[in-house]
Structure 1
Amino acid sequence: MIRPSVFLAGAALFAVPLLAQTAQFDPARLAEHTRTLGSDAFEGRAPATPGETKTVAYLADQFAKAGLQPGGDIKNGKRSWTQAVPLLRSEFSAAPHISLDLAGKPVPLTQGEEIAVRAPTNGDKAMQIDKAQLVFVGYGVKAPERGWDDFKGQDMRGKILVMLVNDPDFEGGEGDFGGKAMTYYGRWTYKYEEGARQNATGVLVIHETEPASYGWATVKNSNTNAMFDIVRQNPRAEHPPLEGWIQRDLAAQLFAASGTSFEAMKAAAKRKDFKPVPLKAKLDVHGAAKTEVITSQNVVGLLPGAARPDETVIFSAHWDHLGIGLPDANGDRIYNGAIDNGTGLAQLIEQARAFANGPRPQRSVVFLAVTAEEKGLLGSEYYAANPLYPPAKTAGVINTDVMGVLGPARDFTIRGNQKFGLLDILVEEGAKRGRRYTPDPKPETGGFFRSDHFTMAKTGIPAMSFGPGQDLVNGGVARAQAWGANYTAKMYHQPDDEFSPDWDFTGMAQDAELLHAVGLRLANSTDWPNWSTESEFRAARDRTARERGAPSAPVTQTTPPSRPGERG
């Protein structure tokens, strides 16, 4: 039965309709976890640093205190608190020497300023590129199912490919790429992968703030420190020797020296008949890298199910951030990651406590804190390839990556605009609590491909990454948008992502209660949610259904339709 419940948000009391609570979440506990994990003592929580050691110990301790059992690798016949994740770590020993030959004129470049070159993760211990020809390849997309090919059969072997970020129709074009909604073809990870498939020597992505969805400071801070990848049998199949970004102004210089302009090249790249354009520019990059295989850790807690312990529901969040890096204007070098993702971890810990304190659900519930998300979703990719609990018997994944700290909201969202049964459950449970679902307000940022649920979805598991609402009880949409713009510009992947005592965690407590209801409903059911029939993940889920010996699971379609120009 719905009853009113009173929440305290700052100094204002307000009443919202709320079901009898499935669990109580304490805003003070959520705040304390966020403050602790985002403190300087954790050194920015980078993999393979003392910050990782402290973070893993803190999470395992909190899971144990919450009432979970170890759910990780089996050691000496027993589950441990961790899953070992072998990673290739690569870091330049000193800033690489980078220079252009621009129409015969030498132009030195500074790492982190005009260009950001990533330390090699293709197995090389040094980067030695001499006079490599630069070629503009539009958006660097080869999508035969959309009738799109930016390469037109030309040989890219030995070339440095210069590419625009995002999709060919982000700002209008001839392609069927979802309009403003980014497809995977728009992600920088795809562009590097395609460069490797083209046998190119390198890929340079042109940074523009709007289509990238973040400023140059984020690019600089994320790409000039230690790089990681999972250990691959053939890393060169995934990574060209050179991977990096360049500023828009440098791209404009490249085009001007080649007798054209940035605007002309961008306009040409939006057409299906685009062909690669050799530039009057060659690149030298020399740098030594220290490479090693390190072992990082996913942290795993388990609450065994009362009736069907072999079936699982997973709650996940990434524990890592950027560690210690380049100083900001104030000399601060610690990238604390209090919002990203101390908040998601706080929710995960308290979600574990709530499940352990309540009646034991029928299915097992797994609490998974993954490593190296900031390095390319690597901890979750490793888990997806080496699952501790079979995907065929995983009912769903609920991921939290950046939670709200502005108090309660009337709505909520998820990353991306996929349609699937797990979202239907979220929408229904939200409606019971007087809250509405708002589709991803910025599908052009490619949020669906930027968090750990994506690697799980690729195996077929219905997986979502929850997002806090934008219609705040205190300040509405305008306040949320203003705060979000400031966060992206001044805090995201920067040292200023630090805990503030002014943050209001009552909204996060409300969100945690909603997610608890979704997880509890799924953990006590016999249902196997599926993706919509048009989803690219549907076939993988259907295969897992057959592994269970069950027919393909049906899909209900209660979620609102996508807005015009967005893909489901």
Structure 2
Amino acid sequence: MRTTLHPFHAMKALMLAGFLSGSALALAAPAPSFDIARVRADIQTLSSDAFEGRGPATAGEKKTIDYIAAQMKAAGVKPAGDKSSYFQNVPLLQSDIVGTPRLSMTIGGKAIPLAQGEQIAVRAASTGQDAVKIAEAPLVFVGYGVKAPERKWDDFKGVDLKGKIMVVLVNDPDFEGGESDFGGKLMTYYGRWTYKYEEAAQQGAAGVLVIHENEPASYGWATVKNSNTNTMFDIVRKDPKAAHTQMEAWIQRDLAAELFKASGIDIEAAKAAARKADFKPMPLKATMDADYAVKAQVITSYNVAGMVPGKGHPDETVIYSAHWDHLGVGLPDAKGDRIYNGAKDNASGIAALLELARTFAKGPQPDRTVLFLAVTAEEKGLLGTEYYADNPLRPLAKTVGVLNMDGPFGIEKTTDFSISGNAKLDLLTMLTEEGARQGRSYTPDARPEAGSFYRSDHFPFAKRGVPAISFSAGRTLVNGGQVRGKELQNIYTRDRYHQPADEYDPSWNMDSAPGDLTMLYNVGRELADGRSWPNWSSDSEFRAARDQSMSSRP
């Protein structure tokens, strides 16, 4: 448990207890100030068309990582990457569909061509193969595609999927109510498409089709299309076919409804059946054909790492992280714009990272080392962080905690804050205490059905036991409260998230930024100057991994 307060907070506590006078408190270091104009400039630069959407393995990557490293160097932040540089090499498998994929289904005896990005969104194969050729593969509906022995749940019931296409629903079996124990609206990892892809490979399927619906997916078709029809990346695996089928794709709900109707099944009835533990796979009266070439190669992308060394315990590390990548150049939107600028997602997080790095570099030297980590390929499955967690620049056992930033600033100034997911850990307690000093309260994740806990760069650290959170500025606005906050967030998700319209706007309200940065800085400073080792709650699935590394810490 945490036992040491930041010196300023400790002094304040002593004064309140009558042990220090107000004049003594006045001698404490003032709260840091942040240059919001500089934060704006970083966002504007990183999300400009010149950076081409910051796609990994593009000219935009080179500009991005060089810019981040240059800002770190100018701030006096020391290199923390490979060979005393600011960069950590991250080998990735890069895959692209060559040309236009030929896709079709035969539904109830009728051949129907499918247009990439319209009825279907097919990803480039992550298996390393140079072509995908599927002919008349039968389609089988397997509910949510979940096999969870601890929940006594098995959607497969021994069905043979070899040579067949697995059709699955997005999210968990109890998202819309059911007889299961999958967290209700709180998505478990079983609800993530990454899990469903992996399970399809384990089941020996020829491919997998995820049925898209806005509510259980938590985003619209535009996000699905834009995220899946461009260049794909994966970590370099010894056996990629153990984690991926040759064809991974999403389909529109209307197309899925046709599939079920031709098989004499109502789609809502099929969904209702899938919510029960006695669900059995349903063969569909449809087959699929796919034919396209794939260009696959191993490339090197880069994490950017800088540090402010600790003076007392330099081998212990506090990490601030944010992903620098976005979707690069992809399919055009209705206006013909093909550059996915990613201003909020996540030029804003990198701008916050850089401003915090400058503040630590010019402030009192921390007792522990503070690492500023800008990671690659988050949009492709948290790959830069996964690589770091497997190949850490600083030992994970002596990593005190991770504060991740992914779109960290509020749309406007808020009276609350949140984190991605609803995990319980000491870092959240610290944030809650710091928020209270600002008059801000903790609000649980407003969209637990989105599975945000598994979608941000804190997760690879968390599953290895390192206490880690992704900060959110909250949605209860000073002007308009929760109602207006939800309305503005929904507009962003619908109209800009993973779309070319996520661009910098000089009229952005940045009133939230000073308070957000102050919370992040003060919690990080408390960790860096203290002797505590935060942990997960006693009932957390990540507690055991953290406890196992206890012997490596003082």
Task: Please report how far the alpha carbon of residue 403 of structure 1 lies from its aligned counterpart in structure 2 after TM superposition.
Answer: 2.4
**Structure 1 residues 507-518: aligned runs within 5 Å:** 507-518=512-523
**Pair 1:66 & 2:66 matched:** no
Asked whether 1:383 is paired with 2:388, we answer yes
* Contact 1:47–1:371 (8 Å) recurs in 2: yes
CA distance in 2, matches of 1:447, 1:119: 24
Counterpart of 1:287? 292
* Mapping 1:30-49, distance limit 5 Å: 30-49=39-58
Question: Is the helix fraction higher in 1 or 2?
Answer: 2
Instruction: State the alpha-carbon separation in 2 of the partners of residues 340 and 223 from structure 1.
Output: 17
Cα RMSD of the aligned pairs, angstroms, is 1.2
Q: Which one is further off, 309-318 or 420-429?
A: 420-429
- Post-superposition shift, 1:29? 1.3
2:352 to 347, 354, 358: 347
Match of 1:111 in 2: 116
SS in 1 for 2:132: strand
What one-letter code is carried by the residue in structure 1 that aligns with 2:427? L
SS class of match (1:185): helix
How many Å separate the matches in 1 of 2:292 and 2:218? Answer: 30
Deviations 1:289-330 (A, max 9, x none): 111111000000011001000000000000000011111111
Q: Using the alignment, how far apart are the partners of 2:540 and 2:520 within structure 1? A: 23
Distance 1:120 1:21 in 2: 54
Match of 1:128 in 2: 133
Q: Secondary structure at the match of 1:44?
A: helix
Q: How many residues align?
A: 529
Work out whether 1:297 is the aligned partner of 2:302.
yes
Q: Does 1:529 align with 2:552?
A: no
Deviations for 1:324-344, whole angstroms, at most 9, x for unmatched residues?
111111111100000000110
- 1:52-91 alignment, distance < 5 Å: 52-74=61-83, 79-91=84-96
Deviations along 1:88-121, one digit per CA (max 9) or x if unpaired, are 0010111110011112111111111000110000
- Map residues 434-513 of structure 1 onto 2, 5 A cutoff: 434-513=439-518
For residues 445-474 of structure 1, give each alpha carbon's deviation from its aligned partner in whole angstroms, at most 9, with x where no partner exists. 100000010011111100000001211122
CA distance in 2, matches of 1:93, 1:68: 42
CA–CA distance in 2 between the matches of 1:506 and 1:353? 20
The alignment partner of 2:38 has SS state of: helix
- 1:473-527 CA distance string (max 9 Å, x none): 2232222111111111110000000001111223112101111000000011111
- Determine whether 1:414 maps to 2:419: yes
Tell me, yes or no, if structure 1 residue 321 matches structure 2 residue 330.
Answer: no
Residues 40-88 of structure 1 show CA distances to partners (whole Å, capped at 9, x for unaligned) of: 11110000000000000100001111110000012xxxx1100000010
**Maintained 8 Å contact 1:409/1:507:** yes
Q: Would the aligned equivalents of 2:102 and 2:290 in 1 still touch at CA under 8 Å?
A: yes
* Aligned partner letter, 1:239: H
Cα distance in 1 between the residues matched to 2:106 and 2:447: 39
Could you tell me how far apart the structure 1 residues matched to 2:31 and 2:287 are? 62
Give the 3-state SS of the residue equivalent to 1:95 in structure 2. strand
SS at match of 1:387: coil
Q: Does 1:247 align with 2:242?
A: no
Match of 1:426 in 2: 431
Paired residue secondary structure (2:230): coil
Q: Which amino acid aligns with 1:367?
A: F
Q: Give 1:399's match in structure 2, choosing from 396, 399, 404.
A: 404
Which amino acid letter does the alignment assign opposite residue 122 of structure 2? V
* 1:547 positional shift: 3.2
1:269 aligns with 2:277: no
Q: Does the aligned pair in 2 maintain the 1:27–1:506 contact within 8 Å?
A: no
Kindly provide the CA deviation profile for residues 369-427 of structure 1, in whole angstroms up to 9, marking residues without a partner as x.
00000011100010011111111000000000012253321110000000001111111
1:136 and 1:262 mapped to 2: Cα distance?
Answer: 11
Amino acid at match of 1:263: E
Aligned 1:1-16 pairs, distance under 5 A:
none
C-alpha separation between the residues in 1 aligned to 2:230 and 2:411?
31
Quote the Cα distance in structure 1 between the aligned partners of 2:370 and 2:163.
49
- Tell me which of 326, 337, 342 is aligned to 2:342: 337
**Letter paired with 2:517:** A
Q: What is the SS of the residue equivalent to 1:517?
A: helix
Sequence identity percentage: 61
Q: Map 1:172-191 onto structure 2 (within 5 A).
A: 172-191=177-196
Judge conservation of contact 1:44–1:335 (CA < 8 Å) in 2: yes
**Is 1:213 matched with 2:222?**
no
Letter in 2 for 1:540: A
**What SS does structure 2 have at the residue aligned with 1:448?**
helix
Pair 1:198-2:207 in alignment: no
* Unmatched runs of 5 consecutive residues or more in structure 2: 1-7, 10-27
Partner of 2:33: 24
Could you list the runs of 5+ residues in structure 1 that have no partner in the other structure? Answer: 3-18, 551-568
Partner of 1:159: 164
Tell me the SS of whatever aligns to 1:353.
helix
Q: Which secondary structure state, in structure 2, belongs to the residue aligned with residue 292 of structure 1?
A: strand
Consecutive aligned runs of 4 or more in structure 1 exceeding 6 Å deviation: none
Answer yes or no: is the 8 Å Cα contact 2:148–2:154 preserved in 1: yes
- Mapped contact 1:405–1:503 kept (Cα < 8 A): no
User: 2:399 corresponds to which letter in structure 1?
Assistant: T
Paired with 1:67 and 1:413, the residues of 2 have a C-alpha distance of 31
Contact 1:25 1:510 in 2 (8 A): no
2:60 to 22, 37, 51: 51
CA contact (8 A) 2:438 2:515 kept: no
Q: Whole-Å Cα distance in 2 between the matches of residues 449 and 473 of structure 1?
A: 29
Q: Aligned letter for 2:318?
A: V
Amino acid at match of 2:127: N
Q: Which residue of 2 aligns with 1:6?
A: none
User: Which letter maps to 1:415?
Assistant: S
Q: Normalising to structure 2: TM-score of the pair?
A: 0.94
Q: Distance in 2 between matches of 1:547 and 1:305?
A: 18
Using the size of structure 1 for normalisation, the TM-score is: 0.92
Amino acid at match of 1:233: K
Amino acid of the structure 1 residue aligned with 2:346: N
State the distance in 2 between where 1:248 and 1:366 align.
44
Q: Is 1:364 matched up with 2:369?
A: yes
